[in-house]
Amino acid sequence: MNIVEVQQLSKAFELHILGGKLIHALQEINFSISEGEVIGLTGKSGSGKSSLMKCVYRTYLPSSGAIRYASRSGVIDLASAPDHAVIALRRSEIRYCSQFLSVIPRVSALDVVCQFIGRSDDARAQASLLLERLGLPTELWDAYPVTFSGGEQQRINVARAIIARPRLLLIDEPTASLDASTKDTVIDLIRELRRGGTSVLCISHDTYTLNRLADRCLHLEGGRLVENIAYEQLVDSES
């Protein structure tokens, strides 16, 4: 079953400050994600990977095309759904994990991880378990993440995104600033989610991560999808 079907998706930014200049970020993208599938999104910087992910999350308003999402309560076009419907899906099914952690200042690391699931004892216990697995030193759990290193922030970010076990996870460079063993933990955690039925769209430049995680990869160039291939083929073509 397909969870997401993207059809003829295009995105252009109209910059009023530059007299209405159009910047074409994505052009006529087509692909689908099935239940429990992990799709890697590859391409050079500026090729449109983040734009595509942000269109699916509706942070960017698509210019044309459709993003059909099979929610628990029926199929909905994320490209045109009313805002309140998108908000409801974000609260219950779809989670986006950006490259950089964004938090309210002076909220502890543990509470940041619990942000979307409440601060009950049970939630905190789950958060502790995750942070422990991700190897975040316990003395940092009650500290404020703003002051953390890039790798520590990334662990918080990943933990917050996966704790509620979303149906669709959109994750941008989840392993970029992590050491090898933490990277493996993140990969394991995402695999566990997939076994539970979560579908994942994952941007990464890291072949190690994609090799272990992705069922297939979409390759973007200049805002167009140039390949929709199994990961092994991508590795072959690069070598």
Partner 1 sequence: MSTLLEVRNLTKIYGEPGEHTLERTGPRAGTNICPDTEAIVACANVSFDLYPGEVLGIVGESGSGKSTVVKLLYFDMERTLGSAWLKPYLDGHSDILDASGQQKRYIRNYLMGMVYQNPRDGLNFRFTSGGNIAEKLIMAGHMHVGKIRERASFLLDRTEVPVRRMDDLPSSFSGGMQQRVQIAKAIANNPPLLFLDEVTTGLDVSVQARVLDLIRELQQELGIAMIVVSHDLSVIRMLTDRTLVMKHGRIVESGLTDQILQDPQHAYTQLLVSSLL
Q: Rounded to whole angstroms, how far apart are CA atoms 12 and 226?
A: 18
Q: Rounded to whole angstroms, how far apart are CA atoms 99 and 231?
A: 22
Contact 101, 145 (CB under 8 A): yes
Contact 229, 53 (CB under 8 A): no
What is the smallest separation between the CB atom of 82 and partner 1, expressed in angstroms?
9
The nearer residue to partner 1, 15 or 125, going by C-beta atoms, is 15
Residue ranges in 60-119 that form contacts with partner 1 under rule CB under 8 A:
60-61, 83-84, 86-88, 102, 104-107, 118-119
The nearer residue to partner 1, 160 or 219, going by C-beta atoms, is 160
Q: Rounded to whole angstroms, how far apart are CA atoms 33 and 199?
A: 7
Contact 61, 12 (CB under 8 A): no
Task: Determine the interface stretch with partner 1 among 10-18, 168-176, 191-199, 223-231 (rule: CB under 8 A).
Answer: 10-18
What is the smallest separation between the CB atom of 105 and partner 1, expressed in angstroms?
4
The nearer residue to partner 1, 102 or 239, going by C-beta atoms, is 102
The nearer residue to partner 1, 33 or 53, going by C-beta atoms, is 53
Site string for partner 1, 164-203 (x = CB under 8 A): ----------------------------------------
Q: Which of 1, 16, 121, 195 is in the footprint of partner 1 by CB under 8 A? A: 16
Q: Rounded to whole angstroms, how far apart are CA atoms 127 and 209?
A: 24
Residue 104, classified by CB atoms within 10 Å of its CB into exposed (0-12), middle (13-18) or buried (19+), is exposed
What is the smallest separation between the CB atom of 80 and partner 1, expressed in angstroms?
13
Contacting positions for partner 1 (CB under 8 A): 13-17, 54, 57-61, 83-84, 86-88, 102, 104-107, 118-119
